[in-house]
C-alpha cells in the first residue's frame, strides 16, 4: 500500500480506455488556453471515431469555422456551427426519428456562445438546458458528447458530475485547485494524500488528471483516477464521416466524366438530362436522405 508521501497514479491508456466503453460517453476537458487541450482533444476524437464510427460529427464552436484548416480538417466543414441554436433541433430530430446511428457532438471554445432557453430568453452556455439534458441522457440517444472548456465555472455541476470521463489540466487559482481535490479526489484517505496526488500529476507539463466516472464499485482512489499525457506531435487523420463524403464526391465526379465521354455530342443533350436524373435518383438516394435533413442524425 502506498503511503501519503509516494502517491503516484497509474497511467491512463486512451486506446484501451475508449475501446472498453460499453456506452456512448459524455466527456469533459477543462484547461486554460495553451494548456494542451487541443492536442488531447485530437487524440480523443481519433480513438472515439475508431470505436464508434460516427455517421455524423457536429462541432459547436465560436471559432471553428475560422480555424477549420488548422484544428478541424479531420471533419466535415458543413457540420460546424458557430451558435448553439442548432443543438435543440438535433436533439428534437433524434427523438422524433429514433435513429440509432452514432453521432458525436463536440463543444469547443463556447464560453461566449448563447442559446434561446425555454422561457424565450437567451442564456449563457453554463445554463444551457440541452447540455444538461445530454450529460444525463446522451447515451440513450446514441450521442457521444465532448465538451472542452477553459474553466469549470463555464459548465454546470450537473454536467461535471455526470461525465463518463473527465480530463483536468492544472488549475491556476486556489479556488479551482480546491474544487478539483474536493470533487474528484474524495476517496483519498487524507487531505495530505490528495495534495500529493495533485502535485504529482501536475508536476509534469501538459499532464492531466483523468477521472473515469463511468466505473462503478470504486472504493479507493486508484479505482477511478489516473493520469494521462497526450502524444505529440499531433495525429493526422480523417474521420469516417469525412471519408464517406470524400468518396461520394469522387463517385459523383467519375459518373459525370463517364457521361461526358459516352455522350460527347450536343445531339444527346436531352438523353443526358434524362440519364442524369435517373442515375442521381438511384445512386444518391440513400445518401441524400441524410443530406436533406443533416440534423436528423
Q: What percent of the chain has pLDDT over 70?
A: 86
255-266 pLDDT, tens digit per residue, is 877 777 776 655
Stretch 224-230: mean pLDDT: 96
Stretch 80-93: mean pLDDT: 90
Q: What percent of the chain has pLDDT over 90?
A: 59
Residue extents of the structural domains in the chain: 4-228, 242-296
Give the three-class secondary structure for 40: helix
Give me Rg for the CA atoms of the chain.
23
36-45, 48-57, 92-101, 128-137: which has the minimum mean pLDDT? 128-137
Integer angstrom CA distances of residue 4 from 10, 110, 179, 183: 15, 38, 20, 19
Nearest CA among 119, 178, 130 for reference residue 156: 130
Decide if pLDDT at 267 tops 50: no
| CATH number for the domain formed by residue range(s) 4-228 | 3.40.50.300
The band of 164, judged by pLDDT with boundaries at 50, 70 and 90, is very high
Q: Which helix (H) or strand (E) holds 17?
A: helix 14-19
pLDDT at 123: 73
Interior CA angle at 33 toward 229 and 212, to 5°? 40
pLDDT at 291: 47
Question: What DSSP state is assigned to residue 141?
Answer: G
pLDDT at 256: 79
Contacts of 251 (CB under 8 A, 6+ apart): 283
Which grid cell is 255? 459518373
What's the length of the chain? Answer: 297
pLDDT at 3: 46
42-86 pLDDT, tens digit per residue, is 999 999 999 999 999 999 998 999 989 889 999 999 999 988 888
Gap between the Cα atoms of 153 and 126, Å rounded? 7
Give the three-class secondary structure for 145: strand
Strand ranges in 78-138 using DSSP code E only, listed in sequence order: 80-81, 103-108, 114-116, 122-124
30-34, 64-68, 151-155: which has the minimum mean pLDDT? 151-155
The band of 2, judged by pLDDT with boundaries at 50, 70 and 90, is very low
Decide if pLDDT at 269 tops 70: no
Pairing of strands 114-116, 103-108: unpaired
Higher pLDDT, 123 or 26: 26
49-53, 98-102, 248-252, 271-275: which has the minimum mean pLDDT? 271-275
pLDDT at 72: 95
Amino acid at each position: 500500500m502506498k503511503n501519503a508521501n509516494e502517491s503516484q497514479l497509474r497511467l491512463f491508456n486512451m486506446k484501451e480506455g475508449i475501446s472498453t466503453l460499453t456506452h456512448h460517453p459524455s466527456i469533459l476537458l477543462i484547461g486554460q488556453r495553451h494548456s494542451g487541450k487541443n492536442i488531447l482533444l485530437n487524440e480523443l476524437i481519433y480513438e472515439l471515431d475508431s470505436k464508434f464510427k460516427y455517421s455524423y460529427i457536429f462541432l459547436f464552436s465560436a471559432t471553428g469555422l475560422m480555424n477549420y484548416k488548422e484544428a478541424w480538417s479531420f471533419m466535415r466543414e458543413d457540420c460546424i456551427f458557430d451558435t448553439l441554436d442548432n443543438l435543440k433541433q438535433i436533439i428534437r430530430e433524434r427523438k422524433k426519428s429514433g435513429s440509432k446511428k452514432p453521432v458525436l457532438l463536440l463543444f469547443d471554445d463556447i464560453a461566449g456562445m448563447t442559446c434561446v432557453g425555454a422561457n424565450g430568453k437567451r442564456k449563457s452556455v453554463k445554463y444551457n438546458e440541452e447540455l444538461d439534458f445530454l450529460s444525463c441522457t446522451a447515451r440513450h440517444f446514441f450521442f457521444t458528447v465532448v465538451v472542452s472548456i477553459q474553466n469549470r465555472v463555464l459548465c454546470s455541476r450537473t454536467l461535471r458530475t455526470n461525465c463518463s470521463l473527465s480530463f483536468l489540466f492544472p488549475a491556476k487559482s486556489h479556488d479551482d485547485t480546491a474544487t478539483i481535490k474536493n470533487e474528484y479526489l474524495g476517496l483519498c484517505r487524507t487531505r495530505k494524500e490528495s495534495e500529493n496526488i495533485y502535485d504529482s500529476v501536475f508536476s509534469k507539463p501538459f499532464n492531466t488528471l483523468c477521472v473515469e466516472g463511468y466505473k462503478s464499485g470504486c472504493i479507493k482512489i486508484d479505482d477511478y483516477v489516473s493520469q494521462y499525457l497526450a502524444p505529440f506531435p499531433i495525429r493526422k487523420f480523417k474521420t469516417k464521416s469525412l471519408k464517406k463524403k470524400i468518396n461520394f464526391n469522387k463517385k459523383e465526379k467519375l459518373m459525370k466524366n463517364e457521361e461526358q465521354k459516352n455522350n460527347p455530342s450536343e445531339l444527346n443533350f436531352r438523353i443526358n438530362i434524362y440519364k442524369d436524373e435517373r442515375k442521381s435518383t438511384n445512386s444518391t438516394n440513400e445518401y441524400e436522405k441524410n443530406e436533406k435533413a443533416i440534423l436528423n442524425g
